[in-house]
Structures are given as structure tokens and as C-alpha cells.
Amino acid sequence: MIAIGWQALSLGTDLPRRPKDMERSSHYCYDRSMSRRTALAAISPVASEQWGMITAGQVRQLEVSRQDLNRLVDDGTLALADQATRVYRLTGAPEDPDLDPLRAAWLQLGGDQSWQERTAAPNLVISHRSAAHLRGLGDLIPYKHEFYTTARLRPRRTDVKLRVRSQLAPDSWEIWDGLPVRIVSAIVVDLLSDGEDESAIAQVVRDAIGLGLLRDEELGAIVAPYATAYGHTDPGEFARVLTGKGTSR
């Protein structure tokens, strides 16, 4: 007699069938592996359009189960995005520590909607300091992720600031780096409305002009409603100060 596996067999006899519990275990492992590959194949194209990130709602729309999603997290294929609950990142995707938190916040607020749906007719547009920072204008630090929205959202985050509007004018925003963001002239208006420091706004204006995103001749009309609040009686003079061609008070 010779011992093979879990029972003793006579030489020359057929190998035994494995116990049923082992068959189930092997079958489960096989299905689990296939499920992981299928889930990853569904998730990857969507995440690749969104800076390597995807929301739990989008995963659900792809008919990937919560169990399969958890397995991808457990094996390190996906990781939770910082501070953005139910937003996941492919761990091999390139990271941008400067802009990824804003991107993740925008994705989180969109739930299960696709990137195409949200950029075709956005109900959430990046504004104020966040918009200036995204576009590389000025030196204002966005301490919160700022958005205009037409939806009643409750993000349960202290680092997100939403300003609700009845509508978002189509000519007030554009897609920049894959995100709906206020156009430059509107960003200047937002910063003036918030009473930001004149010198900080001037830097935004000068950067925008230098990049060809704003023209000197349109600035006067943009800043006119705010000239008095900033101590300027002449809107033209205020515009010249912001461009660096006038003398600041």
C-alpha cells in the first residue's frame, strides 16, 4: 500500500476523486479569478478616461458586483481615493497630487453618471479659487474644492463648497483638462465677487493675458461693477492696475 493525498490506495488503482468540499473550493477559486479579470476589464476603460479613477456608482452601472469591487481593493488593484468616499483609483495609474483631489471630489459628486454625460451638460462646474488653480492662474491656494451647481447636493465634506444656481450659462464654462470649469473672464468675476485681494486677482489676470486666455480690451467691462468696491472710480484705471499698466492705490 502507498499513501497518496488523503487516503491509502493500492498500486495500480485509479487516483481517487477529491472530496466534494475540495471540489467546491477549487471551483470557487477558479470563478473568483475569472470574476476579477472580468471586473477589471470592465472598469479599466472607464477609469482611463477619468485620470485612473472610477466611482462606486459607475462600477455598479457596469454590472460589477460589490463583492468583485471589494476583491479588487483587497488585492491592491484599486485603492480608495483620498477624502473622496466611494471613489477608487487604479493603483498603477499616474498620480497628480496637485489636481487629483479636485478631480476625485468632482467624480464623487457625480455618483453613477458617466464622464461623457457630465461634461456634455454639466450640473457641476469648477469655480473661484479652484478654477484658477486648475488653469494655472495666479497663486491663490484653494483651501476648499469650489463648484457652481444646479443640483441640491450634500457631499458631507467640509472641504467642498457648493454655490447653487438655477442654471449655468453655456458660455460661462468650458472643458479644461477633462473637467467643466469657468471660463477665465468668469473666474475673474468670481474672485472679484468674493472680495479676493487685488494683488492676487492681478496675478490671475496677468497670467491669463500672458497665456492668451484673456484680452486687455475686454477687462474693463468685466471689472467695472467692482471698481468702486476696490477703491477705483474709473473702471478703465482699475483694469490697467490689474494688468500692471497702472498704479495701484
- Residue range 80-98: mean pLDDT, rounded: 93
**DSSP string for residues in the chain:** -EEETTEEE-TTSPPPPPPHHHHHHHHHHHHHHHHHHHHHHHHHHHHHTTTTEEEHHHHHHTT--HHHHHHHHHTTSEEEPTT-TTEEEETTS---TTTHHHHHHHHHTTTT--HHHHHHS-SEEE-HHHHHHHTT-SS---SSEEEEESS------TTEEEEE-S---GGGEEEETTEEEE-HHHHHHHHHHTT--HHHHHHHHHHHHHTTSS-HHHHHHHHGGGTGGGT-S-HHHHHHHHHTSS---
pLDDT band of residue 3 (cuts 50, 70, 90) is: very low
Cα distance between residue 242 and residue 206, in whole Å: 7
Percent of the chain's residues with pLDDT above 70: 85
pLDDT band of residue 243 (cuts 50, 70, 90) is: very high
pLDDT band of residue 32 (cuts 50, 70, 90) is: very low
- Residue range 31-40: mean pLDDT, rounded: 68
Taking the whole predicted model, whether its pTM rises above 0.85 is answered as no
Which residue has better confidence, 83 or 8? 83
Closest CA to 187 of 173, 175, 177: 173
Q: Give per-residue pLDDT as tens, 201-215.
A: 999 999 999 999 999
Mean pLDDT of the chain: 87
The half-sphere exposure of 190 on its side-chain side, counting CA atoms within 13 A, is: 23
Q: Give per-residue pLDDT as tens, 90-112.
A: 999 999 999 999 999 999 999 99
pLDDT at 153: 87
Full strand arrangement of the beta sheet holding 53-55: 53-55, 87-90, 78-80
pLDDT at 25: 41
- Residue range 123-137: mean pLDDT, rounded: 97
pLDDT at 186: 98
CA 27 to chain centre: 39
Closest CA to 107 of 98, 115, 97: 115
Lowest mean per-residue pLDDT among 33-42, 76-85, 159-168: 33-42
pLDDT at 139: 97
pLDDT at 35: 75
pLDDT at 120: 93
pLDDT band of residue 17 (cuts 50, 70, 90) is: very low
| Domains along the sequence of the chain with CATH | 19-95 (1.10.10.10), 121-249 (no CATH)
Q: Give per-residue pLDDT as tens, 50-70.
A: 999 999 999 999 999 999 999
Q: Give per-residue pLDDT as tens, 214-232.
A: 999 999 999 999 999 999 9
